Amino acid sequence: MSNKPLAEKAATWEREVGSDPRDDVKPAPPDPDVVTEDTLVARPDLGEHSSTLVAAGDRVPTGLEGNKHRARTG
């Protein structure tokens, strides 16, 4: 992704300022804060074996991005 400002942004594409709107648009970059499968995020602040469930397609809550992640089983 470049650092140019965006003229338009949608869920699946974006167009930079100054680009021709008739050109093909490039896909938006994947959002690193969105999980693709049900995920457990470690919560050491709540206790040694605590974690928070983040459902597939949801964002990891702010402040928990750096915590350990593991796929939910079962």
CA atoms within 13 A on the CB side of 39: 21
- Threshold 0.95, pTM exceeds: no
Q: In terms of C-beta distances under 8 Å and separation of at least 24 residues, what long-range contacts does 21-29 make, across chains too? A: 29/1
More confident position, 73 or 12: 73
CA distance 70 to 51: 10
User: What pLDDT is recorded for position 28?
Assistant: 66
Q: Report pLDDT digits (tens) over 1-57.
A: 567 888 888 777 788 888 877 777 666 666 677 889 999 999 999 999 999 999 999
